[in-house]
Structure 1
């Protein structure tokens, strides 16, 4: 008889290698997060007593899952696809679920299956017919957290937003809580898990046994989350980190992990001899076989669940599978992302004026270069401008523009490498003089001025576009004829003159515009062009107000009732 020491513990590496051998206990992608939850209070060592408690909770949630799936809940609507009920909420008066459609709201019962989301409006002693929000079909669904409240107000961050092309109006499902939004986060994670699982099936065009295996992976993940929630009921857990499809959606190389999973699922034949030589023929049990062993049928595909026919192979004894390699690489990349995001969060500053000051300091090298170009362009130093003009013209004539651009890129690369060797990855902090602190009224005035300037820019842009529209539609015939003639001349030049000469002429015309010889002539032509541009009328615009017929009908009904 085997005796287990009560103080026996295991580490994360042992748990991550052993637990995924049984799909309901763990998964290669999320095994480390399961271990963190189980060992949170035991100094990152998993005790057998905690693991045994986890298995007991798993058995309990499996029985609950079986009873819900075998019950008459939504039986008339889900029997066609053989849907399994994963979670139900809104049956207790202390934890209602409210559905918002537009400005209307109604409490009810929310049910999640492995294919869809159902909501039943609550009546006095029963429920209305369930409204189905399909998660299995390609309906361009959008599911995200949402802020909701009564009568369409945005007060509480505890709702889920759902939108698809099959709905004329988006739906917001609210999970009221006195503090926090753990219920919402849990439901958001499990709904997305089902949605991502079906997206994975469509992406890799899986069917039959492979499709059922993918859905079972999502189901087992949700059951594990339910078991872990019962164990750590006082400490909120991150549900997204415990669901494999949610994790793959967040990780930097999550698509590579999903490709590895798809390759494993679509392997029809395995070389028994090579498997025996390398790993002694020991592979993890498949999800379908485990479901059969647990006592509930799953899927519509008739198959033999013997392990000799279905081998998933997530864990191989003595070897690291491609899936495990992909997961390790993704974890490593994600750690780099976390470190980079920490630096991003550390340099964020508050206030429009402070951010503008930091941006001005960061753009100071580009500003200096631009000021130097303007200095040359306006010929404030004629000797420098003449030298720059001659050198640039020679480069354009010889067709060396590409070589110059390549040289600039090489110089930039060498500059970065030299800094890497000298500074060793450490750079000095950017020192910025913070602007004077503003009170609330000054901040409001600054925001108002910024909004006013943005509005003026938009107005100027609209006027520019309307004048172009007037030219295209010939509302001012003389201006249209001049524009058409200029476009024809440009078209002939582009068609018959080599491009390098066109670029050379354009450069010389632009760069010598403010030279001492051309300055007076340029100012005269700019004045003529401005007068011509101001004489062009803007195309007319007619604003139509939106009339809500529903509100009008409602007002008419109210007036008739009063009479």
Structure 2
């Protein structure tokens, strides 16, 4: 067991992480020398001092922060062995290991020795695990909602370098002396997605595992990774959001002591409007962790604030279009309701720049609503006595709320940076997981993380109760019934009220949740392995990416324009069209030898009673063809374009031509619908005896057909129908068939359609008035009687 050592407190303003290394016998020494000094002999500050020195960040010249380079560190009194079995440590890895070792109160060399004793050799050889251990060990010592060291620019840069170190822990084997010959500025470095999603969620308040990949996409934008400038800007904006919340809580909302203010909308340039009875009232809108508040601005001043509780079940939030007289002119509204028949808040977030502001508010409100759904479904009741059996479980609800609050803060920070995704819901974990595939697995792992803890021994109480002759108030817990986190924390079986715990995916996940040998610093920080939340989030991410790829193919198939969709439909029906065309050739005896061969085969199947084998054989042939194509495609013998549907684009046209084309297309669709409706109405006339004579004739035909099918074996009926089908185009039957079809067409045209009655339009108000009138008339009649 490693004891915790005394660590100096971080008090920093800025951290110049410009490094210069000198290698000698695989040993690196650190220090900082002035770049402006010609002799480079004058020591500006000690980045890593002697063992007796305190690690002070406020000794750094903040003016040199922005343009410093990663090779301006050279010497100090501590040395770091850089050689590992898999290669030499990269410069970023050495810096990260040494700095976090000092912050943990140890040297880098001592930290390596401790790490070697804690982990198997196979895992120790991976330099990433050493970087993780040094970083996670320091981060695990703080349990605050937002890591306090984030306020220091030095720590921000150190975390960026740690992500670079995790991504590239080894030096380039082909150019071992590159670091001593060239300059590599931090400004040109980019952090990849894998490194960001591993390190960033370990910092309290910066990211969470379920949405870390979406946060990376938002920050990276069109780039291949996250730059130092974007990283520092993101942290600065995040700190501003948290500071703004504290100022709102203290100055403007002292009465909301039991709630935390998250977002306030009261800008005059971009007001928040509440729509009531086709009237829009501007006002001050506030979102807390439990409710919505709206304080309308009336003609005589502000009215009292009204409150909508977000903790009650059944709440729904959705995007709506608003406007006078329900016109829906502006797509900038959000509706919050608790079901049909209840009061609905319709809010408009005015933003002339687009829908960005509305989408952020929608995601924030949705996150709070989904948070309380999560608490009700996966968390124990506040009055549950079993909470006392698990140490720390009383704080589970607060942990979940803090996670949601930090997610909304990150959303606001990205809004200020103008780096949001198309759907901000993807950036807040509870709302994202609600509709994500296998999101319930992540919900379960989060519940275990929030409420799980060590069991509290109650042996003394049980012995006392048995001595008094009374039964214990709480039944003894079967350990096998519970769920355990990676650090041994227990989540009680009686808390598993959600039906998702009984799903096959859930049972399989928790059955195989055991981990390989790793160093567990906390339930969220695991070296050389993933925590349970990370594992569940990885499964969810994999399934979600598969769904996104499928949806991308569906979106690509949705062409714009009626002519293009008609061309695509024709192309998809081409195999069936070719089959029907070839069958028609057989029926018309265009190639007599093929027709005779087909009839010989068909009658052989019928006469020898092989009809029951036709459908299974067709399925076998279809499956064999599919597997053959699969094998050929894997071998690369079908070409890259095989399976793709190709159509010609429509010729260029102006707006008027497009409008005319749409109008013609709508007219054609209308004509098809009219003919279809007429056909259905005529069939309705036959079935409902609209024309008794025709109904009688059709009924007699149906009875005759049923009698024939009951008396004559089916194979003879099928043989007769096949003979009739293939002899219609022969000379001795052609005229007779034409006369018969003409007679059927004439009878069909003379068949009237069922009558259709079109009632005048009635809105809801007129319907209610008519219902009242009818009830009044009924009451008058009863009184008269």
- Normalising TM by the smaller chain, what interval? 0.7 to 0.9
Are positions 1:400 and 2:613 aligned together? yes
Aligned partner of 1:514 among 705, 715, 728: 728
Aligned partner of 2:566 among 347, 350, 356: 356
- Determine helix, strand or coil for the equivalent of 1:508: helix
Alignment deviations for residues 234-281 of structure 1 (CA, whole Å, 9 cap, x no partner): 43434433211233256554454335445656868779999xx99666
Q: Give the alignment of 1:262-301 within 5 angstroms.
A: none
Are positions 1:458 and 2:633 aligned together? no
How far apart are the structure 2 equivalents of 1:112 and 1:278? Answer: 33
Alignment deviations for residues 214-241 of structure 1 (CA, whole Å, 9 cap, x no partner): 7853553343433563487243434433
How far apart are the structure 2 equivalents of 1:178 and 1:200? Answer: 35
Aligned partner of 1:2 among 44, 55, 69: 55
How far apart are the structure 2 equivalents of 1:489 and 1:201? Answer: 67
Q: Retained in 2: the 8 A contact 1:147–1:159?
A: yes
Q: Retained in 2: the 8 A contact 1:120–1:131?
A: no
* Larger displacement relative to structure 2 (262-271 or 419-428): 262-271
Instruction: Compute the displacement of 1:324 (Å).
Output: 1.4
How far apart are the structure 2 equivalents of 1:68 and 1:506? Answer: 92
Q: Retained in 2: the 8 A contact 1:376–1:384?
A: yes
Tell me the number of residue pairs that the alignment of Structure 1 and Structure 2 aligns: 516
Paired residue for 2:350?
A: 176
User: Residues 231 and 506 from structure 1, CA distance in 2 versus in 1: closer, same or farther, beyond 3 angstroms?
Assistant: same
Paired residue for 1:303?
A: none
Aligned partner of 1:158 among 324, 332, 335: 332
Aligned partner of 2:427 among 229, 236, 242: 242
Are positions 1:427 and 2:641 aligned together? yes
Aligned partner of 1:409 among 604, 619, 623: 623
How far apart are the structure 2 equivalents of 1:497 and 1:256? Answer: 60
* Larger displacement relative to structure 2 (389-398 or 199-208): 199-208
Aligned partner of 1:93 among 268, 281, 286: 268
**Structure 1: any 5+ residue segments left out of the alignment?**
76-81, 284-310, 554-563
Q: Retained in 2: the 8 A contact 1:38–1:46?
A: no
Q: Retained in 2: the 8 A contact 1:23–1:220?
A: no
How far apart are the structure 1 equivalents of 2:231 and 2:640? Answer: 46
- Determine helix, strand or coil for the equivalent of 1:10: helix
- Determine helix, strand or coil for the equivalent of 1:371: helix
How far apart are the structure 2 equivalents of 1:539 and 1:388? Answer: 44
Paired residue for 1:226?
A: 409
Paired residue for 2:368?
A: 194
* Larger displacement relative to structure 2 (457-466 or 153-162): 153-162
Aligned partner of 1:60 among 209, 220, 243: 243
Are positions 1:541 and 2:756 aligned together? yes
**Structure 2: any 5+ residue segments left out of the alignment?**
1-53, 58-98, 100-153, 164-192, 388-392, 458-478, 491-520, 769-785
Instruction: Compute the displacement of 1:186 (Å).
Output: 0.6
**Larger radius of gyration, structure 1 or 2?**
2
Greater relative CO, 1 or 2 (CA 8 Å, sep 6+) = 1
* Larger displacement relative to structure 2 (311-320 or 323-332): 311-320
- Determine helix, strand or coil for the equivalent of 2:537: helix
Q: Give the alignment of 1:519-530 within 5 angstroms.
A: 519-530=734-745
Q: Retained in 1: the 8 A contact 2:486–2:532?
A: no
Instruction: Compute the displacement of 1:446 (Å).
Output: 1.9
RMSD, aligned α-carbons: 4.9
User: Residues 202 and 229 from structure 1, CA distance in 2 versus in 1: closer, same or farther, beyond 3 angstroms?
Assistant: closer
Paired residue for 1:106?
A: 281
* Larger displacement relative to structure 2 (36-45 or 239-248): 36-45
Instruction: Compute the displacement of 1:184 (Å).
Output: 0.6
Paired residue for 1:30?
A: 211
How far apart are the structure 1 equivalents of 2:280 and 2:356? Answer: 21
* Larger displacement relative to structure 2 (260-269 or 377-386): 260-269
Q: Retained in 2: the 8 A contact 1:96–1:175?
A: yes
Paired residue for 1:123?
A: 298
